[in-house]
């Protein structure tokens, strides 16, 4: 099944749950993620939140790579901390599903990409911790919610400094690029197996990459809102990730 789609790899994206104002629950992700994967050569596959392990296993076995999207805060117990008063609400089912899939993909060598919550999720899955609230735990930091109410989510209030020679620097063709920002949490203790490859001007971690054989990349900004118009260089994040997934041969257990 997977070989049939090898020229356009299947990228699994976990679909969050949203309550509609008119009632009922919707499963989905912003179309910006779907469009970014599709336009850059991949086939998006939405994976719904469920406790049914057979369903998750079937979805997983169809994937060539996994993309972990933005969203709410991860339950602090998942990384061994008490809940900070400023920590937001968590979706425990989403935490469980994403951590399960992330750890399975990491063990199998399946390429993974994390965006915003996604970079935090990968860090937690690998044994790292998080600042639960940047304003109260990192005095003097920038406003990392500055883009929240901007039209099109494209306000880029600061640049990020990317480590020369990193995969991200090579892929984007720069070591300094503007970024939007929508988060009040950030990586604290970086997990073993990850290295920091980009920082905000205040020292907040903006990107990580894996240190071992498997492909891991995470970014704290939201390039899915920037790549098509506001900052086209971010398209190369998605194009590069899809290309890696196309050629990867993970061992599916």
pTM of the prediction? 0.95
Give residue 5's pLDDT: 43
Report whether 224 contacts 153 (CB < 8 A). Answer: no
In this predicted model, what pLDDT tens digit does every residue of 60-91 receive, in sequence order?
Answer: 999 999 999 999 999 999 999 999 999 999 99
Q: Which of 75, 116, 144, 183 is catalytic?
A: 116
| pLDDT one-digit tens code per residue, 165-198 | 999 999 999 999 999 999 999 999 999 999 999 9
User: Catalytic: which of 75, 98, 206, 224?
Assistant: 224
What pLDDT does residue 1 have? Answer: 44
Catalytic site residue 184?
no
Q: Is 224 a catalytic residue?
A: yes
Residues of the chain with pLDDT under 50: 1, 4-5
In the chain, the domains with their CATH numbers are 3-247 (3.40.50.880)
Instruction: Determine whether 151 is an active site residue.
Output: no
């Amino acid at each position: 099944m997977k070989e049939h789609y090898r020229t356009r790899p299947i990228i699994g994206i976990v679909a969050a749950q949203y309550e509609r104002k008119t009632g009922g629950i919707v499963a989905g992700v912003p179309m910006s993620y779907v469009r970014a994967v599709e336009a850059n050569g991949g086939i998006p596959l939405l994976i719904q939140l469920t406790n049914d392990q057979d369903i998750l296993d079937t979805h997983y076995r169809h994937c060539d790579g996994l993309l972990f999207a933005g969203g709410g805060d991860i339950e602090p117990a998942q990384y061994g901390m008490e809940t900070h008063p400023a920590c937001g609400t968590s979706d425990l089912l989403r935490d469980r599903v994403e951590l399960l899939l992330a750890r399975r993909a990491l063990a199998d060598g399946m390429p993974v990409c994390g965006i915003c919550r996604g970079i935090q999720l990968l860090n937690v899955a690998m044994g790292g911790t998080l600042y639960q609230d940047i304003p109260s735990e990192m005095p003097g930091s920038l406003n990392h919610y500055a883009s929240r109410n901007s039209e099109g989510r494209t306000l880029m209030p600061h640049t990020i400094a990317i480590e020369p020679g990193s995969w991200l620097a090579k892929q984007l063709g720069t070591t300094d690029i503007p970024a939007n920002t929508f988060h009040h949490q950030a990586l604290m203790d970086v997990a073993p197996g990850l290295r920091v490859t980009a920082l905000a001007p205040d020292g907040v971690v903006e990107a990580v990459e894996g240190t071992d054989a498997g492909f891991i990349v995470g970014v704290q900004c939201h390039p899915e809102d920037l790549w098509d118009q506001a900052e086209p260089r971010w398209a190369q994040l998605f194009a590069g990730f899809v290309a890696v997934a196309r050629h990867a041969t993970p061992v599916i257990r």
